[in-house]
Chains A and B, each alone.
Chain A
Amino acid sequence: MPTPRPSLRLALLAAALCSVPALAADAPRKPSRFAVDPYPSTYRAAPSAPVLISGATVLTGTGQRLDGADVLLVDGRIRAVGTGLQAPADARRIDARGKWVTPGIVDVHSHLGVYASPGVNAHSDGNEATSPVTANVWAEHSVWPQDPGFETALAGGVTSLQILPGSANLVGGRSVTLKNVPATDVQAMKFPGAPWGLKMACGENPKRVYGQKSGPATRMANVAGYRAAFIDASEYLRKTAPKDSPRKRRWWQPASDAVDSGQDAGGKRDLKLDTLAGAINGDILVHIHCYRADEMAIMLDLAREFGFKVAAFHHATEAYKLADRLAAEGVCGALWADWWGFKMESFDGIQENIALVDRPAGGCAIVHSDSAEGIQRLNQEAAKVMASAARAGMAIAPERAIAWITANPARSMGILSQTGTLEAGKMADVVVWNGTPFSSYALAEQVFVDGVLAFDRANPARVPRSDFMLGQPAAADGGVR
């Protein structure tokens, strides 16, 4: 990957700053040089007429349930949520009596596009399994926008998703957050202003992949590997930190040198260290694949050692064993409802994991997919957790559980100020369901992305189809498939 020249870099920085909408609650600081985007989002929502969805059971994602309520979408934003809303004259009206309305579903853990369907060798673009630390790779450069999985996820109500590199490596690379819209290139899917994530992995996968090669072959070497990488990044960060004031010009120096030193970038850029330094800075959010409670505890200490924050532990089948600590440290658990036992570190999985992570004050539980099938029905995954939790005596109301697949993943991805709840001013990412979403029989009927009707189950013209599916005789009868 070519490194932009310094002069170009400044121009790109300026461009990126201009195109980044305010994300006050999520990213208070200006992006550092580690978060400059040379491949910026070109996504712009199409203009849309106002939409009034009326008479629905509305789960706002903020913990509220409103019965017989309306949701008004104007100019791609949520204008209002409440009862008896007045719509502009040109508004499209949706009679949603008997239906349920939720924020657009958000998946924090997807490999759509990087492990696209069909799962041929040529589509295996998610693990740069050539070296245990590949912080230099960016998942967005692997995303195939024609993955049919995007449109089936949309039919499941998913409007935003984080695409992560795989878990073969200790540090797998940068993730990218997308709006789930059909596009020819990934830039046209990139969620404007969303921070990148950094994918790391604990445990069995890295040591299995590298155990017979260069290592790591053990968990202790895994940790040594993270530490070595972050030691390098800390040093890099120190070297590249802009000086507060220009160095004093010595008599033998030309004036231009002194000016440059005020923007000192510490010499040649290192893509790997850029990403790790961005993680330390907080510009890039750290997402760690980690199953066992003891390993999560070590990763929390690692984070403290190097001054970064863990946004979420992913898979974390043992998160329930340290749910209080996760809540206290503000770390989310991005989890499955019921997967377990496929390897030793997942042997202690239980179906109440999400409910137990959700239980302490400040707990941040997320239902994630890691699957092209699971992402289509995150609502049902949440329903399974609710049913298991009820059996264990923990009744969880729908208005609370909906946050597991909307607000909480949005929070962990740094996009909560833009989406994830039905609050005035946010992106009009909205799903109209045929009934309660927490059922085997739940179907998303209409899905809005930024106020645009992106999916309409009743109208084949509003069901996106990937280029790949065209002209396939076997798929002619497909539709939503």
Chain B
Amino acid sequence: MSRVMSRATTRATTGATLSRTLLAIALSACALAAHAQDVLIRNATVHTATARGTLQSTDVLVSGGVVRALGQGLAAPAGAQVVDAQGRPLTPTLFGGITQIGVDEVSGESATVDQTLALGAPTREMTVRPEFDVTLAYNPASTLLPVARVEGIGWTLLAPGTAEGGSIIAGQGAVMRLDGSPDPAGPRVLFVNLGGDAVGLTGRSRAAQWMLLDQFIDEVRGRIPPDSHAAMLTPAGRATLARFLDGGGRVVVEIDRAADIRQLLRWSRRHGVRVAIASGAEAWMLAGDLAAAEVPVFVDPLLNLPGSFDAIGATLANAARLHAAGVAVGFTQSDDVSHNARKVRQLAGNAVAAGLPWDAALAGLTRVPARAFGVAEGLGGIAPGQRADLVLWTGDPLDVAHVAAQVWLGGRAIPMRSRQTDLLERYLRRQPGDAVR
């Protein structure tokens, strides 16, 4: 470190000072983390991600794992941990996007990956099992959880995938809080993958995707008897699918091409399916229709290349255009979604650079996904009664120039450690000649 300092010019940033401050916070937090107690965070710039917007120089009182009060000059209850935020930004913990955190440890090692059902793989037949519930494979001890949460990522939508031998209906997932709890924090969400990438499963035509989806609904409605040679669903599959029709549970559809999104809007209206779109490279072309249908869209705002013929219209302005038309815009990544879930705030910042208002960008990582996936009761905002899942940042949370200084989950200051910080610490301290272990 001294060598860095000597070689860098004198215009060094105040990183050393900063890290001392963070250390102080971390130490005081560690001492108190054993049992949830009252916390008073003083003098923060509180981005509430609610209708109240941003509150300057505001205190946040946490008790019993829940936010109790926001205001100025709040009194600290006896025994409360007091943190001086020094005016820095405080946000709810961020949504990490639609990921496989907890079901994908090392992507290249199949024994550590549980995200995708492919029962028909040997025959290459589509095997339709909406009842497949990927949350049953969730491992809260995955190393990916601490890696994400020390960066301010507090929750994610765990999603199954689609592969040969599986189905365009990938199955169910749900919101998982990254606090180590083993069970979903919200209702089950159904995942459907459509478009060019999935034509291999649907007789080489995307037209057949609508034909098959209609057939599944016919099976659920009893218009195709279970013992029909054409039937593809199990009894459990029919029961599961029924829960997502007629205004039931949320269905997340991964889809990019505008023409396909148009068909989706017709299909979902016809069957009363509450859809949200994931990816949506060309969603901006139907922004007005999506707003009218109240379909939230989770975009990757870095997607600006025609990565496929489904995404010829991909543009950096996607998020801004959707928002301007009144669509609820959230964020999710298209690449390296789980291990690098922390990158999602870079996506939001870049959406701002491409014209999205800052508040809308923060909403895309808080309020919008919380509402879309049925967890807005406790997550995605800073307000009395909300769960105290909070992040204090060193600066603008949507700017990659800043990092999370301290994260609280359920009112507890978490240790800001992960497998990666352990590795860093070992090699940061190592001097030439040290033993390797």
Q: Contact residues of A with B, CB < 8 Å?
A: 63-65, 117-120, 148-149, 152, 204, 320-321, 324, 338-344, 347-352, 355-356, 358-361, 371-373, 376-377, 380, 383-384, 386-400, 436, 438-443, 468-469, 472, 474-475, 477-481
Contacts and interface: CB of A to CB of B under 8 A. Distances in A.
Contacts of A478: 313, 315
Contacts of A399: 8-9, 11
A183 B238 CA distance: 56
B16 A360 contact: no
A468 B306 contact: yes
B313 A118 contact: no
Interface of B: 1, 3-5, 7-9, 11-16, 18-19, 22, 105-109, 143-144, 258, 282, 285, 302-309, 311-317, 335-336, 338-340, 342-343, 346, 349-350, 352-353, 394, 398-403, 420, 423-424, 427-428, 432
Contact of A342 (B9, B19, B108, B423): B108
A65 B11 contact: yes
Contact of B15 (A342, A394, A474): A394
Contact of A341 (B106, B258, B312): B106
B399 A343 contact: no
B295 to A, nearest CB: 19
A440 B306 contact: no
A413 B398 CA distance: 34
Closest 8 CB pairs of A and B: A440-B349, A390-B15, A343-B108, A395-B15, A474-B313, A341-B339, A481-B304, A474-B312
14 contacts: A65-B11, A118-B306, A342-B106, A350-B420, A390-B15, A393-B15, A395-B5, A395-B12, A397-B9, A436-B401, A438-B401, A474-B285, A478-B315, A481-B305
Nearest to A472: B312
A24 B327 CA distance: 58
Most A Cβ at <10 Å: residue of B18, B307, B312, B403: B312
A120 B7 CA distance: 47
Contacts of B308: 118-120
Given A338-B343, A395-B13, A117 B305 contact: yes
Nearest to A477: B315
B8 A400 contact: yes
Nearest to B106: A344
B12 A397 contact: yes
Contacts, number: 196
Nearest to A380: B400
B400 A400 contact: no
A371 B250 CA distance: 33
A396 B403 CA distance: 15
A394 B309 contact: no
A481 B14 CA distance: 36
A393 B16 CA distance: 5
Given A118-B309, A373-B302, A443-B353, 17 more contacts: A118-B306, A342-B108, A350-B420, A361-B3, A380-B346, A380-B350, A388-B403, A395-B15, A399-B11, A439-B399, A441-B353, A441-B399, A474-B313, A478-B313, A479-B315, A480-B316, A481-B304
A63 B9 contact: yes
Given A339-B339, A474-B285, A440 B423 contact: no
Contact of B335 (A152, A373, A394): A373
B353 A397 contact: no
Contact of A393 (B1, B338, B340, B352): B1
A376 B346 CA distance: 13
Contact of B427 (A64, A321, A390, A439): A321
| Of listed A340, A384, A479, residue having the most chain B CB within 10 A | A340
Given A344-B109, A478-B315, A440 B305 contact: no
A388 B116 CA distance: 33
A174 B99 CA distance: 37
A120 to B, nearest CB: 7
B391 to A, nearest CB: 14
Contact of A338 (B342, B349, B402): B342
Contacts of A359: 1, 3-4
